[in-house]
Amino acid sequence: MRRRRTSCSKKNVPSAEIDIVRGVSYRPRVTLRAGGSCGHFEVTAGTLGAFVEDADAYYVLSNNHVLANSDACSRGDPILVPGPIDIVGGFSVVAQLSAWVPLGGGAGKVDAAIAAFSDDVAHFYPWQYAGIGTIKRSPIADRFAVNRVAKRGRTTGVTRGVVSAFDLDGVAIDYGSHASPRLVTFDNQLEFVGSPPEKPFSQPGDSGSLIIDANSMRPYALVYGGGLDADGIDRTLGHFLPEVLDELGVTIVK
């Protein structure tokens, strides 16, 4: 039986002294759950995908463009829950940016980053995804062994889908603007459509969501992008999770 982690025993990074958003209240001592809104203080919002660890700390895992502002960041930058665009009554600084895989330009590896818990995190639920269930702690090892998937994200909540493509090469994503494009190209990517296909598996704001193999409940991929095809089917891109964890030198919390 899995236990609920009720406190944070590792040494956490001290809270930053911040005054980021004036006029809203700050909420210390929070309980963290995966699948909700989060973000770097200068982005809109994405999804807190999963809880990961190394020998030193617990971290939240999401995308570079969610936690590290697409490389426009500094180590220690505050990570907010909810993400800045979702702040209404209050927010918490739940983590400080620790590491990110640079997006750069041209050939990319993964769009991923981690942020170490701040002292304000009192409790967290490392394996529970409301509406989906309890995940296993070791990710899927074979990227071709998955068909049905589920995810919980900030915008669309719990959705279910299927793998529509494995091993996609030459996938270009524009991290810039119309005025100033910044194309990053990824190989060996995964793509998903909703089940049924007319129901989007993800939408903007779901970046960073953990994609879970519905059969085994093992973590499988990390949402980072998507687009609408000419038939009106929304297609979600994901990085194969073992590659994300290897790049960042972390594992799912054991």
Partner 1 sequence: MTTAGPKPLVAAQAAKRKLAEAFRGESWFRGVGLAPANRRDLFTLRLTVDPSAHDEPSLPTECEGIPVEVVFLAAYRPRAGGSGNS
- Asked whether 148 and 121 are in contact (CB, 8 A), the reply is no
145 is a contact residue toward partner 1 (CB under 8 A): yes
Q: At closest approach, how far in Å is the CB of 58 from partner 1?
A: 23
- Whole-number Å distance between alpha carbons of 206 and 45: 9
Token reading at 129:
């995804």
Q: At closest approach, how far in Å is the CB of 122 from partner 1?
A: 26
Degrees to nearest 5, angle at CA 47 with 57 and 247: 50
Region from 4-12, 72-80, 130-138, 159-167 binding partner 1, contact rule CB under 8 A: 159-167
83 is a contact residue toward partner 1 (CB under 8 A): yes
152 is a contact residue toward partner 1 (CB under 8 A): no
State the burial class of residue 209 (Cβ atoms within 10 Å of its Cβ: 0-12, 13-18, 19+): buried
179 is a contact residue toward partner 1 (CB under 8 A): no
Residues 28, 196, 204, 249: which binds partner 1 (CB under 8 A)?
204
- Whole-number Å distance between alpha carbons of 254 and 251: 8
The structure tokens 């505050």 sit at: 78
- Whole-number Å distance between alpha carbons of 234 and 253: 31
71 is a contact residue toward partner 1 (CB under 8 A): no
230 is a contact residue toward partner 1 (CB under 8 A): yes
Token reading at 213:
């193999």
65 is a contact residue toward partner 1 (CB under 8 A): yes
Within residues 10-49, the interface with partner 1 by CB under 8 A covers 37, 39, 43-46
- Whole-number Å distance between alpha carbons of 35 and 136: 16
225 is a contact residue toward partner 1 (CB under 8 A): yes
Q: At closest approach, how far in Å is the CB of 134 from partner 1?
A: 25
- Whole-number Å distance between alpha carbons of 102 and 218: 27
207 is a contact residue toward partner 1 (CB under 8 A): yes
Interface residue list for partner 1 (CB under 8 A): 37, 39, 43-46, 63, 65-66, 70, 83, 85-86, 111, 144-145, 147, 154-155, 162-175, 189, 191, 202-207, 223-231, 234-237
